[in-house]
Amino acid sequence: MMMMMMTKADRHRLYAFEMSVWRRMEKISCVDKVTNVEVLQKVEENWSILTTVQQRKLRRSGHMILRHESLLYAIY
């Protein structure tokens, strides 16, 4: 299975999704003039979804590499 690169557009979509979730949880309307930074301060969080996705991708690729190597050892 091939590891897909995360493009700038993908990162932008993830940030937008994360902010929409925080805004929905805090019941902030889309017409309210509240910046993303203010929303993050209100919920006492940082941008976290992109970091989580990157960590999970690394863990998955590490698992696949280790699994692949063990299969190679079993064959030889």
Per residue in 42-62, pLDDT (tens digit) is 888 776 777 777 777 777 776
Residue 30 in domain: no
Domain total of the chain: 1
Residue 6, domain member (yes or no):
no
pTM: 0.56
Contact 57, 3 (CB under 8 A): yes
Look up residue 73 and give its two tokens. 């050892």
- The answer to whether residue 8 is domain-embedded is no
Residue 59 is part of which domain span? 46-76
What mean pLDDT is reported for the chain?
77
> Is 4 a domain residue?
no
**64, part of any domain:** yes
